Amino acid sequence: MMTSSPSTVPHSLTKLSFFHTRILILGPDPVYNLMKRGKKNSDAGDPLTNSDTRTGSSESNAMMKPSLSSIKSMGLLLAVLMVASVMFSLSVVLRDPPSDDVVETDAASRVLLQIRLHQDGGLSEKKEQLGDFNVVPSFDKESCLSRYEASLYRKESPFKQSSYLDYRLQRYEDLHRRCGPFTTSYNLTLDKLKSGDRSDGEVSGCRYVIWLNSNGELGNRMLSLASAFLYALLTNRVLLVELGLDMADLFCEPFPNTSWFLPLEFPLNSLFNEQSLLRNSGNPMVAYRHVVRDSGDQQKLFFCEESQVLLEETPWLILKADSFFLPSLFSVSPFKQELQKLFPEEETAFHFLSRYLFHPTNVVWGLITRYYRAYLARADQRIGIYIGVSESGNDQFQHSIDQILACGTRHKLLPEVDKQRHLPSSQVLNRKSKAVFISSSSPGYFESIRDLYWENPTVMGEIISVHKPSHKDYQKTPRNMESKRAWAEIYLLSCSDVLVVTSSWSLLVEVAHGLGGLKPWVLNKAENGYAHEPYCVRARSIEPCSQASLFHGCKD
Indicate whether 213 belongs to any domain: yes
CA–CA separation, 229 vs 28, rounded Å? 51
Residue 358 CA neighbour count, 13 Å, CB half: 30
Does 351 lie in the same domain as 255? Answer: yes
The amino acid occupying position 495 is C
3 state DSSP class of 522 = strand
Does 470 lie in the same domain as 523? Answer: yes
Q: Which helix (H) or strand (E) holds 382?
A: strand 381-387
The pLDDT score that the predictor gives to residue 503 is 78
Indicate whether 309 belongs to any domain: yes
Within 10 angstroms of residue 500's Cβ, the number of other Cβ atoms is 23
Characterize the bridge pairing of strands 536-538 and 521-523: antiparallel
Look at residues 357, 375, 398 and tell me which one is the last residue of a structural domain.
357
Indicate whether 223 belongs to any domain: yes
Look at residues 304, 327, 357 and tell me which one is the last residue of a structural domain.
357
Does 42 lie in the same domain as 139? Answer: no
For residue 463, report the phi and psi dihedrals to the nearest 5 degrees. -95, 115
Indicate whether 503 belongs to any domain: yes
For residue 208, report the phi and psi dihedrals to the nearest 5 degrees. -130, 150
Query: Residue 112: beta bridge partners?
Result: 128
3 state DSSP class of 88 = helix
CA–CA separation, 512 vs 499, rounded Å? 9
> Is residue 96 a contact partner of residue 111, using CB atoms and an 8 Å limit?
no
> Is residue 107 a contact partner of residue 67, using CB atoms and an 8 Å limit?
no
Query: Residue 320: beta bridge partners?
Result: 212, 290
User: Residue 517's domain is classified under what CATH number?
Assistant: 3.40.50.11350
The pLDDT score that the predictor gives to residue 396 is 79
CA–CA separation, 14 vs 89, rounded Å? 9
Does 340 lie in the same domain as 305? Answer: yes
The pLDDT score that the predictor gives to residue 20 is 40
Indicate whether 128 belongs to any domain: yes
The pLDDT score that the predictor gives to residue 424 is 56
Chunked mean pLDDT (size 10), the chain, 556 residues: 41 38 39 42 40 40 48 68 63 42 32 33 34 54 93 92 97 97 92 73 79 83 96 97 88 95 83 53 75 63 86 89 89 94 96 98 98 97 91 77 94 92 61 94 92 92 92 56 93 96 84 95 80 87 70 59
The pLDDT score that the predictor gives to residue 461 is 87
Does 86 lie in the same domain as 63? Answer: yes
Report the number of distinct structural domains present in the chain: 4
Indicate whether 553 belongs to any domain: no
Query: Residue 127: beta bridge partners?
Result: 113
Does 386 lie in the same domain as 496? Answer: yes
Does 281 lie in the same domain as 132? Answer: no
Look at residues 68, 93, 118 and tell me which one is the last residue of a structural domain.
93
Cα 173 from chain centroid (whole Å): 14
Does 173 lie in the same domain as 89? Answer: no
Does 367 lie in the same domain as 353? Answer: no
Indicate whether 157 belongs to any domain: no
Edge-to-edge strands of the sheet including 463-467?
Answer: 463-467, 433-440, 381-387, 498-501, 521-523, 536-538
Indicate whether 389 belongs to any domain: yes
Does 321 lie in the same domain as 241? Answer: yes
Does 352 lie in the same domain as 295? Answer: yes
> Is residue 232 a contact partner of residue 153, using CB atoms and an 8 Å limit?
no
The pLDDT score that the predictor gives to residue 480 is 75
Does 461 lie in the same domain as 395? Answer: yes
CA distances from 354 to 140, 219, 248 (A): 20, 12, 16
The pLDDT score that the predictor gives to residue 110 is 29
Residue 159 CA neighbour count, 13 Å, CB half: 24
Domain range enclosing 235: 163-357
Please provide the size of the chain in residues. Answer: 556
